[in-house]
Chain A
Amino acid sequence: MASIADEPGKASAARERYWGSAANQRNIRRRHWADRRLQLYGIAAIGIAIVLLGVLVVSLVATGHTAFVQTEIRFEVTVAESDIDVADPFKGNYRKVVRDGFARLVDRELSRPEEKALFEMLSAGAQYILRDHVVDDPDLIGRTFEVALPLADPMDQFHKGEIPRDIPQEQRRVSDLQIQFYDQFLAEGRIAAPFNWGLFFNADSRFPELAGLAGALVGSFYALLICFLISFPVGIAAAIYLEEFAPKNRWSDLIEININNLAAVPSVVFGLLGLAVFIQFFGLPRSAPLVGGMVLSLMTLPTIIIATRAALKAVPPSIRQAALGIGASKHQVVMHHVLPLAMPGILTGTIIGLAQALGETAPLLLIGMNAFITSVPGGITEAATALPTQIFIWADSPERGFVARTSAAILVLIGFLVLMNAIAVFLRQRFERRW
């Protein structure tokens, strides 16, 4: 190109020739192709990300949807007074009651192994369900009535088509004999798969067909309640101080740097803090939603403080000046005018912070909220699990039925997260003012 610029006349002529030349056309095509290529890379990158998101959602729904129904079988049981103590229906040989009733479904004499195979079709927890029935309604004693009891996990999986029929018997957990029984019961219309309310109202259990999320939901609720009660007032107070009152000096800088750093500390470190300080030093109970909520509140605090400061900053100075102008004190300006105007933004930030806390797992594992607990916690100091730690426990369980339960629990967790974020978005769109 240097030679082109030597003389003005010659240069323009050369340029003309160059623009039209095949070499230049090639060059332009190459440059446009490079531009197109960059664009394609971008589309590919976004495509990969969205496809991965899709695969994640599809694989969870595909494995999880079966856990929302539970296979049950209806048959008649006779609760004889010889088996059950009328005065104390809690004690009694319910195992025998259930088995007698179930065995009557097959109208032939069974050998011992056949009997065993038959009884293994029924959930091991069936007798306790019947017991709770009878305890609730003692009039049932001495009567024959129909009950619907859950089938054991392998039969449940079989009914849902997760275990194929046409593979050799040794390779599946359902024997040919059990399939024969199953076909008979199905033909008699005894087997049905209604909506699995137990998933929401049962506590955890060793048997997948009985395990539910009630304990985890209540535990998560308590932990989030504690987290909210601590982090919401403290976060707002800290943000108001830093945004409206703090003098610009070393101290306030130090606090700001601290808050920003806390937001980036790995969550597992907060678990270590909770274990060493709350449990080891202060002697608070292990596995309790109280400690879980306290740890989560420390993690949520930076989110709430940062969101609150942004909301306070968005209130225009004219409002403050007007209030100051008619004689309000600085506190009155903030409490009567700035804070109410900033509230929608603060609430949005708080809900988003709580949604993050709801999905947080690692710190809860360290303070022991992954215990195996078969009852719903009655208070904030009782041992409990939380939704994400329950997912972790089930994901670790070897039984096939827990795979579906885990995916279902994840779908429930994501459902709550979507709900909370939807509320946050609604609040933002409905109430946030733009000046």
Chain B
Amino acid sequence: MFGTVLLAIAALSLIGFWMARSRMRVGALAAGRTAAGVAALHSLPAYHGAYVALWTGLPSAFLVLFWLFLQGSVIDSLLLASLPEAFLTDKSDAERSLVLSEIKSVADGLLFGTPAPEIVEAAERYNTWRSLASWAMFAVGAAMALGGLALASRRLSPEFRARLRVERILSGLMIGCSVLAIVTTAGIVLSLLFEAAQFFDKVPASEFFFGLNWEPQIAIRADQVAGQGAFGAVPVFTGTILVAAIAMLVATPIGIFAAIYLAEYCPSRLRAVIKPMLEILAGIPTVVYGFFAVLTVAPALRQFGGWVGVDVAPNSALAAGAVMGIMIIPFISSLSDDALAAVPRALRDGSYGLGATKGETITKVLLPAALPGIVGGVLLAVSRAIGETMIVVMAAGLIAKLTANPLDSVTTVTVQIVTLLIGDTEFDNPKTLAAFALGLVLFVSTLLINIVALRIVRKYREKYD
């Protein structure tokens, strides 16, 4: 139905456009020769057409979208209200939503066992209301479009400033689109804050931030077997830091040395080959790295461990961190490359003029001068490592352990978010809400690191430009 409504609205808009444009053209012809007639109009006929089309299409399309967003929840609450009083007493929100989904599957003709007669009745009501609602949406949408068409066409006249109106509407749309970035950020912050606040209602913040025991797998339904639940996130945080630190230990030296070679020593032909190859590393999806860690790196490390005589866990922090390091190499190398290239020529020439070798120029002049840029790049990479999800979900552990041993298995913030939210989610259960509290911590910490990194980079640039 939704597609039909949008098509109908689009068709009406087109009709409005043709009508308005041809009306102004005919009017112009009537006013004399075409060119003079058109010159007598304030705006070109196409702008009159666009004006009518926008007024026909935009309000009705927004109305239909709005309707669509609300229809589901309105019908749900109507359905619940229509059920007999006795049917819903002493039922929790979760059970109510189960009743709703049962009604819907019965309405779709899927029967599991014999549903209660109330449910069958409600399913019939649901089907009626649903078709009623979609017809009503069609009627209201079409009426709105026709109304817009009629109102806008009445305003057309040779003196009408259609171009200015159209441009104003377009400007408004563009402003709306750019505000979407703010809306998204606000949506992230508000949803994280809202759910995290609910979490901290159930679990004290002091336990979350300072507790040493993380066992969030508590029962969501009454019949599940699960642990008691403990929400001390410290081992999760330390695990994240451990994996990120391993990744940085792998990526930083390789990235910076690669950048030095590419920026200072490499012949430009070779550079044209090597740079895209490094960028391929950044373009590979993280789920591929995760599988690579599980398939190749972790078994290889384990084998090596057995050979040396050290016990390596199958999902060791080392495997996850090392593979994450590979992924991060291109970030560090390209940002360091930029930083080195931004050092003014004069500093370089001055150093050569004093008789320094290339190596001495790099280590004693270029690197200190580029250091803020490199540090900024490394910090951006750190925030990337903390927020990276798929590699650790596939290659790191699930059990939170307070350890600094890279051969042991640890878990990270992102792993916990994913495992807590895969499967059953219930928004009044601390298990689900804990994921949002972790998400808030993740969002705030990566945001802070990014802000600091960008500050450092910008401050440094101002010095030379």
A270 proximity list for chain B (CB < 8 A): 188
A63 proximity list for chain B (CB < 8 A): 295
Chain B nearest CB: distance from A257 CB in Å?
9
Chain A nearest CB: distance from B226 CB in Å?
21
Closest 3 CB pairs of A and B: A42-B261, A266-B387, A359-B285
A267 contacts which of B266, B389, B421 (Cβ < 8 Å)?
B389
Chain B nearest CB: distance from A27 CB in Å?
11
Determine if B178 and A273 form an interchain contact, defined as CB atoms under 8 angstroms apart.
Answer: no
A258 contacts which of B182, B255, B289, B393 (Cβ < 8 Å)?
B182
B262 proximity list for chain A (CB < 8 A): 42, 46
A305 proximity list for chain B (CB < 8 A): 181
- Measured CA separation A95–B389 after assembly (Å): 44
Mark the stretch among A48-56, A140-148, A182-190, A199-207 that contacts chain B: A48-56
Cβ of A177 within 8 Å of any chain B Cβ, yes or no, is no
A-B contacts, 28 listed (Cβ < 8 Å): A38-B358, A45-B254, A46-B274, A49-B277, A50-B274, A53-B277, A53-B281, A59-B292, A59-B296, A237-B178, A259-B181, A261-B450, A264-B447, A265-B443, A265-B447, A269-B442, A270-B188, A271-B421, A272-B191, A272-B421, A329-B167, A359-B286, A359-B287, A359-B288, A362-B393, A366-B421, A395-B287, A395-B294
Determine if B174 and A241 form an interchain contact, defined as CB atoms under 8 angstroms apart.
Answer: yes
Mark the stretch among B53-61, B84-92, B119-127, B359-367 that contacts chain A: B359-367
Cβ of A410 within 8 Å of any chain B Cβ, yes or no, is yes
Determine if A258 and B357 form an interchain contact, defined as CB atoms under 8 angstroms apart.
Answer: no
A42 and B178 contact, Cβ closer than 8 Å, known pairs A31-B360, A268-B387, A331-B170: no
Determine if A269 and B287 form an interchain contact, defined as CB atoms under 8 angstroms apart.
Answer: no
A5 proximity list for chain B (CB < 8 A): none
Determine if B181 and A34 form an interchain contact, defined as CB atoms under 8 angstroms apart.
Answer: no
- Measured CA separation A261–B262 after assembly (Å): 29
A268 contacts which of B288, B384, B414 (Cβ < 8 Å)?
B414
Cβ of B284 within 8 Å of any chain A Cβ, yes or no, is yes
A contact patch SS:
helix
Determine if B258 and A46 form an interchain contact, defined as CB atoms under 8 angstroms apart.
Answer: yes
Determine if B443 and A269 form an interchain contact, defined as CB atoms under 8 angstroms apart.
Answer: yes
Mark the stretch among A80-88, A128-136, A155-163, A274-282 that contacts chain B: A274-282
Q: A49-B333, A281-B191, A417-B285 are in contact. List 9 more A-B contacts (CB 8 A).
A: A31-B360, A44-B257, A52-B281, A53-B280, A262-B185, A266-B443, A272-B439, A359-B286, A388-B285
1/0 per residue, CB under 8 A from B, across A19-42: the answer is 000000000000110111111011
Determine if A32 and B261 form an interchain contact, defined as CB atoms under 8 angstroms apart.
Answer: no
1/0 per residue, CB under 8 A from B, across A160-178: the answer is 0000000000000000000
CB under 8 Å from chain A, chain B span 156-212: 163, 167, 170-171, 173-182, 184-185, 187-188, 191-192, 194-195
Determine if B363 and A413 form an interchain contact, defined as CB atoms under 8 angstroms apart.
Answer: no
A56 and B446 contact, Cβ closer than 8 Å, known pairs A268-B414, A302-B181: no
Point out which of B191, B277, B414 has the most chain A C-beta atoms below 10 A from its C-beta.
Answer: B191
Determine if A261 and B253 form an interchain contact, defined as CB atoms under 8 angstroms apart.
Answer: no
A395 proximity list for chain B (CB < 8 A): 287, 290-291, 294, 394
Cβ of B248 within 8 Å of any chain A Cβ, yes or no, is no
A-B contact count (CB 8 A): 254
A38 contacts which of B195, B260, B284, B287 (Cβ < 8 Å)?
B260
Determine if B191 and A365 form an interchain contact, defined as CB atoms under 8 angstroms apart.
Answer: no
Determine if B357 and A32 form an interchain contact, defined as CB atoms under 8 angstroms apart.
Answer: yes
- Measured CA separation A44–B194 after assembly (Å): 49
Cβ of B315 within 8 Å of any chain A Cβ, yes or no, is no
- Measured CA separation A35–B357 after assembly (Å): 7
B contact patch SS:
helix
Task: Name the CB-closest residue of B to A360.
Answer: B285
Determine if A258 and B380 form an interchain contact, defined as CB atoms under 8 angstroms apart.
Answer: no
Cβ of B326 within 8 Å of any chain A Cβ, yes or no, is yes
A414 contacts which of B174, B288, B359, B360 (Cβ < 8 Å)?
B288
1/0 per residue, CB under 8 A from A, across B399-422: the answer is 000000000000000100110011
Chain B nearest CB: distance from A289 CB in Å?
15
CB under 8 Å from chain A, chain B span 1-40: none
Mark the stretch among B69-77, B302-310, B369-377 that contacts chain A: B69-77
- Measured CA separation A53–B195 after assembly (Å): 41
A45 proximity list for chain B (CB < 8 A): 253-258, 261
A193 proximity list for chain B (CB < 8 A): none
Determine if A365 and B296 form an interchain contact, defined as CB atoms under 8 angstroms apart.
Answer: no
Cβ of B383 within 8 Å of any chain A Cβ, yes or no, is yes
A264 proximity list for chain B (CB < 8 A): 380, 383-384, 446-447, 450
Determine if A258 and B181 form an interchain contact, defined as CB atoms under 8 angstroms apart.
Answer: yes
Task: Name the CB-closest residue of A to B191.
Answer: A276
- Measured CA separation A411–B275 after assembly (Å): 22
1/0 per residue, CB under 8 A from A, across B236-261: the answer is 00000000000000000111111011
CB under 8 Å from chain B, chain A span 271-309: 271-273, 275-277, 280-284, 298, 301-302, 305
A42 and B292 contact, Cβ closer than 8 Å, known pairs A266-B446, A272-B439: no
Determine if A38 and B277 form an interchain contact, defined as CB atoms under 8 angstroms apart.
Answer: no
1/0 per residue, CB under 8 A from A, across B429-455: the answer is 000000110010011001100100010
Cβ of B329 within 8 Å of any chain A Cβ, yes or no, is yes
Point out which of A269, A355, A417 has the most chain B C-beta atoms below 10 A from its C-beta.
Answer: A269
Determine if B418 and A365 form an interchain contact, defined as CB atoms under 8 angstroms apart.
Answer: yes
B313 proximity list for chain A (CB < 8 A): none
Task: Name the CB-closest residue of B to A370.
Answer: B422
A259 proximity list for chain B (CB < 8 A): 181
- Measured CA separation A370–B253 after assembly (Å): 37
Cβ of B117 within 8 Å of any chain A Cβ, yes or no, is no
Cβ of B227 within 8 Å of any chain A Cβ, yes or no, is no
1/0 per residue, CB under 8 A from B, across A394-418: the answer is 0110000001001100100110010
B362 proximity list for chain A (CB < 8 A): 38
